[in-house]
Structure 1
Amino acid sequence: MRRVVFAALSAALTGFGGSAPAYAERAGYYEVTAVAADDMLKMRAGPGTGYKVIAGFPNGTVFWVHSCEQTGSTRWCRVSLKQARGLKGFVSRAYLKEN
């Protein structure tokens, strides 16, 4: 019994079995940054490059970040456009800074 309790406690403290990762970003406004001048940050229909591109956004665009998740080596955030909250999709976390 003691081993079962210890194993459960260890798993909980290390993040196994938890529903939210310890590195989850806070919901809030984030600004697009570090996109090349001749490029756009692609908003996608899902969290990965295999999903359809919905739209592209330049540096300075502000999104509301709802949540983020790790897919492969990239963190993807579920976002909506600040000026048009109905426009929703996923963008790479690497190009967002907290606003």
Structure 2
Amino acid sequence: MRRAVIAALAATVLGSIAMQADAGETGLHEVIGVEDDDMLKMRAGPGTGYKILLGLPNGTVVRLHSCDQTGSTRWCKVSLKQSRGVKGYVSWAYLQKI
């Protein structure tokens, strides 16, 4: 019984920490790691099967709203810092918090 209570408390604490980490991801991020002759594709939805809306070169600043895991890729809903009405999804792997 005591182990069950301790396990439940540990799960609650770890879940709380994970939720705080996810909440801390929002805000401004910069596109990084894209090849010089390529761009990060901003898509209409969270996956490669969605329409490409724009290409974002390294250094583009976006506002991250939320992220979701789709298959093996973490997709984030973003909007352009300079044009907040332009929204779409990009791979988390190419974003760095600024």
TM-score (norm 1): 0.79
Rounded Cα–Cα distance in structure 1 between residues aligned with 2:21 and 2:74: 10
Which amino acid in structure 2 is aligned with residue 35 of structure 1?
Answer: V
Aligned residues: 96
Per the alignment, residue 59 of structure 1 pairs with: 58
- What secondary structure, in the 3-state scheme, does the structure 1 residue paired with 2:78 have? strand
Q: Deviations over 1:23-49 (max 9, x none)?
A: 525210000000000000000000000
- Give the drift of 1:55: 0.3
**Contact 2:25–2:97 (CA under 8 A) maintained in structure 1:** no
Deviates more, 1:39-48 or 1:23-32: 23-32
- Give the drift of 1:22: 6.6
Per the alignment, residue 69 of structure 1 pairs with: 68
Q: Deviations over 1:29-81 (max 9, x none)?
A: 00000000000000000000000000001000000000111000000100000
Which amino acid in structure 1 is aligned with residue 27 of structure 2?
Answer: G
**More helix by proportion, 1 or 2?**
2
Q: Within 5 A, what are the aligned runs for 1:70-85?
A: 70-85=69-84
Rounded Cα–Cα distance in structure 2 between residues aligned with 1:10 and 1:95: 32
Per the alignment, residue 87 of structure 1 pairs with: 86
Deviates more, 1:22-31 or 1:59-68: 22-31
Rounded Cα–Cα distance in structure 2 between residues aligned with 1:48 and 1:37: 23
Rounded Cα–Cα distance in structure 2 between residues aligned with 1:89 and 1:32: 14
Q: Which runs of 5+ in 2 are unaligned?
A: none
